[in-house]
Amino acid sequence: IFVGVGGIGGFGVQIAKALGVTVVAIDVDERRLQLLSEYGADVTFNPKEMDKKAIRKSIQSFASEHALPPYEWKIFETSGTQAGQELAFGLLTFGATLSVVGFTMDTLELRLSNLMAFDARAVGNWGCHPNYYPKVLELVKAGKIQLAPFVQTFPLSEINSVFQRVHHREIDRRPILVPDFK
């Protein structure tokens, strides 16, 4: 389960699919959900259209309909938002693992005892260890991870404009800055 399927979450969906996993994608951006349904997400949910309990129940129903376990879910919080982290924590099931990858400075109020009650665990990660790079590159070379639909190139000389546009959410793909100085 990926909560937030922008840059990191979008690539996470593709990696999980390449590894043979059934993938749930959750995001507030319908365009991202549509794109990821073409690139690995088996089912998508938009929190703007459903509350947390309805999303949890829908995932449980999807799991039941597809003979998937109702427990030990792997939940990746990749939105980096308070709402995304609250939703991800609320999806804990027995034996679940919550991986916090998205970053926010916002404060959350959570009942940590849910980790104990569900015999669940939460882990964090600040990046990908370089040891994994060759494996990821092999997936890209094999066509199991697509880059083009998820990135957009810009001349490095436009760096200030690109940062402004990203800040104002005018760019919906990962910007790649290409040197253009002589």
Is the domain of 53 the same as that of 107? yes
Structure confidence at residue 128 (pLDDT): 84
Q: Are 157 and 181 contacting, i.e. CB atoms less than 8 angstroms apart?
A: yes
- Concatenate the DSSP letters of all residues of 101-149 into one string: -S---------THHHHHTT-EEEE-SS--GGGHHHHHHHHHTTSS--GG
CA distance 30 to 36: 10
- Give the chain's radius of gyration (CA, Å): 17
Residue 72 has a pLDDT of 97
User: Residue 107: which domain range?
Assistant: 2-130
Name every residue whose Cβ is closer than 8 Å to that of residue 45 and which is 6 or more positions away in sequence. 24, 25, 26, 33, 55, 58, 59
Q: How far is CA 155 from CA 83, 123, 167, 172, in A?
A: 34, 37, 18, 17
Query: What's the pTM?
Result: 0.92
Cβ atoms 162, 175 nearer than 8 A = yes
Residues 113 and 175 in one domain: no
Domain count, the chain: 2
Query: Residues 6 or more apart from 164 whose CB is under 8 A from it?
Result: none
What's the pLDDT score for residue 101? 96
Whether residue 135 lies inside any domain: the answer is no
Q: Are residues 94 and 69 in the same domain?
A: yes
126 and 68 within one domain: yes
Within this chain, do residues 47 and 126 fall inside the same structural domain, yes or no?
yes
Q: Say if 12 falls within a structural domain.
A: yes
The residue assigned the tokens 């129940």 is 57
pLDDT of the residue at 182: 73
One domain, residues 28 and 88: yes
Q: How confident is the chain (182 residues) per 10-residue block, as mean pLDDT?
A: 96 97 98 97 97 97 97 97 97 98 94 96 91 94 95 96 93 94 78
d(CA 88, CA 175): 27
Q: Which 8-state DSSP code applies to residue 39?
A: T
12 to each of 20, 55, 100, how far by Cα in Å?
13, 20, 13
**Domain of 116: which CATH number?**
3.40.50.720
pLDDT value, residue 102: 93
